[in-house]
């Protein structure tokens, strides 16, 4: 597996790093200038992929239930606030790095494959998967674009038969994660930067490309392409999509949108606590 080490005298953005790390799977007769880009969490999959991965690690005794609950709360805060506050992003970085620091890349990939099959496969939205398959059937490449670590993102893409994945890139040395990122989290504007960089590399015409997301955080990505679709959208994205004539697809059944935006917790009590925290935090930030 490719190792990515950032030289101190050559800083790179998260988008540039993600594009450089992207590895495309072979595809028969691809459309050379068109592609589709899908967010993962709550767009392709119910809940947060990194949280499902954390649950799988916890079930294997790799960290404690207390650590899992702390991580779940952090995901709720990040999801509800959804801004670019530097302190908040820094905290999210620390949380992400805590998963992999000191671990072997090959071990994380192996665990990712196991946990996807055990926990994540049943959480793929059939409707979103069908949208992706439609692009593949039309000869277009399909990429996942997510803040999830790129190794886990690649596992998801491979399991779904997609072209590849753009994700957050962690630094490695001799096949072991160092606990540092190459660039930054692939979040918000960084996703658009990654897709723009990939388009240059692959010769894509962004006006002929499509993008799918559930979150207003991904407006930079959605606005970059010629065809944007809001999938299971939050309220802000739904309003923006309506105002701009974008397609809206909602595959949620019998669920409140506020709950879809949260990680799927281990038990009912954790879910209730997470929802309560989300509501309180949303009110707090709106009042500021």
Q: Write down the pTM of the prediction.
A: 0.75
Give the residue among 136, 134, 158, 154 at the shortest CA–CA distance from 146. 154
- Of 19-23, 65-69, 138-142, 170-174, which has the strongest mean pLDDT? 138-142
The 3-state DSSP class for residue 235 equals helix
139-190 per-position pLDDT tens digit:
999 999 999 889 999 999 999 999 999 999 988 999 998 888 888 889 899 9
Mean pLDDT of 186-196: 95
Does the structure show a pLDDT above 70 at 207?
Answer: yes
* Dist. CA 44–CA 46, nearest whole Å: 7
Q: Tell me, yes or no, if 41 is annotated catalytic.
A: yes
Split at pLDDT 50, 70, 90, the class of 74 is: low
Q: Is the pLDDT of residue 95 over 70?
A: no
Q: How confident is the model at residue 277 (pLDDT cuts 50, 70, 90)?
A: very low
Q: Which of 21-25, 55-59, 263-267 has the lowest mean pLDDT?
A: 263-267
Taking alpha carbons only, the member of 155, 184, 133, 180 closest to residue 17 is: 184
Please count the other Cβ atoms lying within 10 Å of the Cβ belonging to residue 129. 17
The DSSP secondary structure of 24-90, one letter per residue, reads PPP-SS--TT-EEEE--BTTTBSS-HHHHHHHHHHHTTSS-HHHHHHHHHHHHHHHHH-S--HHHHH
d(CA 122, CA 194): 28
Residue from 39, 214, 218, 234 carrying the catalytic annotation: 39
For residues 280 and 73, the answer to whether their CB atoms sit within 8 Å is no
For the cut 70, the answer to whether the pLDDT of residue 109 exceeds it is yes
**pLDDT at 80 exceeding the cut of 80:** no
187 three-state secondary structure:
coil
Instruction: Give pLDDT, residue 284.
Output: 34
> What's the confidence (pLDDT) of residue 179?
83
Q: Which two tokens stand for residue 198?
A: 């990939």
| pLDDT-derived band at 102, boundaries 50, 70, 90 | confident
Asked if residue 268 has pLDDT above 90, the reply is: no
Position 205 confidence tier, pLDDT thresholds 50, 70, 90: very high
More confident residue, 12 or 26: 12
Residue 162, number of CB atoms within 10 A of its CB:
25
Choose the catalytic residue: 41, 184, 218, 234.
41
pLDDT of residue 25: 63
The pLDDT-based confidence of 198 (bands split at 50, 70, 90) is very high
Average pLDDT estimate for 19-48: 84
pLDDT for res 227:
98
Burial of residue 66 (number of CB atoms within 10 Å: 0-12, 13-18, 19+):
exposed
- Which pLDDT score is estimated for 235? 95
Is 39 in the active site? yes
Residues 234-254 pLDDT 10s: 999 999 999 999 999 999 975
**What is the pLDDT at residue 138?**
93
Name the phi and psi angles at 211, rounded to 5: -140, 150
| Mean predicted lDDT score pLDDT of the chain | 79
CA distance 153 to 108: 12
Let me know: does 76 contact 139? Beta carbons within 8 Å: no
Tokens of 153: 């993102």
């Amino acid at each position: 597996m490719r190792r990515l080490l950032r030289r101190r005298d050559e800083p790179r953005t998260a988008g540039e790093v993600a594009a450089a790390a992207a590895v495309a799977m072979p595809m028969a007769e691809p459309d050379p200038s068109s592609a589709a880009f899908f967010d993962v969490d709550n767009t392709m999959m119910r809940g947060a992929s990194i949280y499902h991965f954390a649950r799988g690690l916890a079930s294997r005794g790799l960290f404690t239930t207390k650590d899992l609950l702390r991580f779940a709360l952090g995901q709720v805060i990040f999801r509800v606030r959804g801004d670019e506050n530097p302190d908040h992003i820094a905290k999210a970085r620390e949380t992400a790095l805590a998963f992999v620091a000191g671990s072997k890349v090959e071990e994380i990939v192996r665990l990712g494959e196991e946990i996807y099959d055990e926990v994540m496969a049943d959480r793929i939205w059939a409707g979103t998967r069908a949208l992706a398959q439609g692009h593949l059937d039309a000869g277009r490449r399909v990429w996942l674009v997510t803040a999830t670590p790129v190794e886990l993102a690649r596992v998801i893409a491979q399991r779904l038969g997609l072209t590849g994945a753009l994700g957050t890139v962690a630094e490695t040395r001799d096949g072991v994660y160092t606990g540092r990122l190459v660039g930054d989290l692939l979040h918000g504007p960084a996703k658009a930067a990654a897709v723009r960089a990939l388009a240059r590399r692959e010769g894509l015409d962004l006006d002929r490309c499509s993008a799918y997301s559930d979150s207003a955080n991904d407006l930079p990505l959605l606005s970059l392409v010629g065809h944007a679709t809001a999938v299971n959208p939050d309220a802000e994205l739904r309003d923006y999509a309506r105002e701009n004539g974008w397609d809206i697809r909602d595959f949620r059944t019998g669920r409140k949108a506020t709950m879809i935006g949260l990680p799927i917790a281990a038990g009912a009590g954790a879910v209730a606590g997470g929802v309560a925290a989300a509501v309180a935090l949303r009110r707090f930030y709106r009042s500021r």
